[in-house]
Chain A
Amino acid sequence: MKFLLFFLLIFNPTFVSASSIAVYPPVLEWQKIEQKTVVIMNPEKYSQEFQISSPEAGLFSFYPAHGTLPSSGSTTVQVTPLKLSSGVNFIYVSTKNGELEPSIAIKTRMSKPSLFTGAIVGALSKSPNIFFGVTALVIIVGAAARLIRKT
């Protein structure tokens, strides 16, 4: 059947007239795997549900990944990359009020250190990478020594 008229309805069962969300910071950068804090702010005079996610699965962990923003208040979310991969990715923070939703994309940049840099950083830091760092440093120094002997 062909109908000339139809109704399209985008509706929200818990009616909210407007919706807003804000975040700090708008850009996150990592050079090593560490936890960073994102502040999610709710300027509205009512509480809002929020969620934070990344389109690329397995790249970040969020704690909490969703929750309630107090009215005219804020909450913090801990974001930790699960692996370091060079390039730009986005983290999306959105409300869950209705069918027309505002969201903010946090731009993330990661710079994956080279093996040598990682070794130095790992060896010199007290991070969990120290074992990797020291091992890599030993391998590099050993390889260099062999190369010198051959020549």
Chain B
Amino acid sequence: MKNAIIILVLLMFVSMAEAKVMVTEVYYDPLQTETGGEAVELFNEGEQAVDISGWSLRTKSSAKDATIPDGTSLNPLQYYLITDAGWNLSKDSPEWPEADHEEALTLTNADGGLALVNKDGTIMDAVGWGSPDQIPPELFEGTPHAGVAQGISLQRKTNGTFIDSEDNSADFIEGAPTLLSGIIKKSAQTIDVIINITNSPIKISSAELTGDDLNVSGIQLLPFPGKMRTAKLSLKIDDADGLNDISSVQANFLSQIINSTSETAEINGSLFMNFSVEIPYYQIPGNYSASITAEDVFGAKDNITIPFEILEIAGISLEKTELILKGINGSAAASIRNIGNGPLAIELSSTNFSSDETTIIANQMAFRITNLENGNLFLGNLTDKPQRTSFALNPAAEANLELFLNTLTNTSRGLYRGKVLVTGTK
């Protein structure tokens, strides 16, 4: 009695293991030929190997259309491919695997079905396609699948494991053939990964700073003396899910933050933008970088930087090109401005001042330079050679130049003309 119970339990386990061998794909209507091109894929989803010796495929045309040879065992998670005889020569794609077992198969293209029958004659699985009225009931489960077009196979659905709800119309879908043979499906412990793509990343695909002044590598920009220089940042932005969700594009250039631009165009799915940026003439020479950030409404960002160099220029501006001094106590003034981006030392030189009759030598003209930035003074007499003053004029700073006659009272009446050169030097 005890032995009988043990045998019964063992038989139950065997039965449970066998139940996991199923038909997972049927290719019944090949593109090239009905003779040699049909295939049925089996799969053991159980945790134990199953001896499938003597198992057979029952079809409309034959109770044993194909029989699996003796000594055949299907390991857990292993595929087994039964094909029509001549498969290797006649299969639709040379890349498809070789069969595990070849035998003449007759799978009807319409209103057909097949059953996987074990050695004892028990139907382990069945797949039918077409009208249920036209298919023997043991050749399908539930409702047959509606059927597929030529070159398409019936494939069991999977959600990590194959679905078997005993209803062919619910369990099978159509698709391009993915037949497998003898392969052990890896990963007995699977993790379902669900990827729900709700947004694609925004991409600044190109950024360019125009206005390069030197024909050497990199971008070198010359400031415009005494004024702002305008340069242009040109961008191309792509977003696979469309440009409508781009919420902001911001450029940071020499501490200027520019949030929007009116120069925007959408061409072939890309967004083209131009930013006008300004370079102050007093910008300290050196290496800088412009930074551009694009962001969409989901918070996805892309950033790009453009390195560039601000070159050093030396520039000077005089408020006037003539000074008129009236009388021996006369004086006149003009402002001097540093319009470059480096400090300038000021040099003065002068010609003598001549009338038709006589000359006032240069050093009889006194000068006073007042640095309006810090109040420093420099006093002296002009000479006919460049004479450097003692202070530097910082970028954008101004100084006031005053000239005074420091001549003898017996100088002759007349109009005296001379030339004063105000030189800025690094």
Contact = CB atoms under 8 A, between A and B. Distances in A.
Contacts of A94: 421, 423
Given A18-B318, A20-B317, A107-B426, A100 B330 contact: no
A73 B327 CA distance: 40
B317 A24 contact: no
Contacts of A147: none
Nearest to A20: B317
A55 B415 CA distance: 29
A5 B327 contact: yes
Nearest to A39: B222
A43 B316 CA distance: 10
Interface in A1-50: 1-12, 15-27, 39, 41, 43
Contacts of A21: 225, 315-316
Interface string B305-327: 00000011111111111111111
Contacts of A102: 316-318, 336, 422-424
A18 B321 contact: yes
Interface residues of B, number: 53
Nearest to B225: A22
Contact of A100 (B318, B327, B412, B425): B318
B162 interface: no
B342 interface: yes
A84 interface: no
B420 A10 contact: yes
A10 B316 contact: no
Interface stretch (B116-124, B133-141, B259-267, B403-411): B403-411
Contact of A43 (B224, B324, B425, B426): B224
B71 interface: no
B56 to A, nearest CB: 88
B328 A5 contact: yes
A56 interface: no
Interface of A: 1-12, 15-27, 39, 41, 43, 55, 90, 92, 94, 97-107
Interface of B: 213, 222, 224-227, 311-328, 330, 334, 336, 339-340, 342, 347, 353, 360, 386, 405, 409-426
Given A2-B410, A20-B316, A99-B323, 20 more contacts: A1-B412, A4-B409, A5-B327, A6-B411, A6-B412, A9-B324, A15-B321, A18-B321, A22-B316, A22-B339, A23-B314, A41-B224, A43-B224, A43-B226, A99-B321, A100-B322, A100-B420, A102-B423, A104-B314, A106-B314
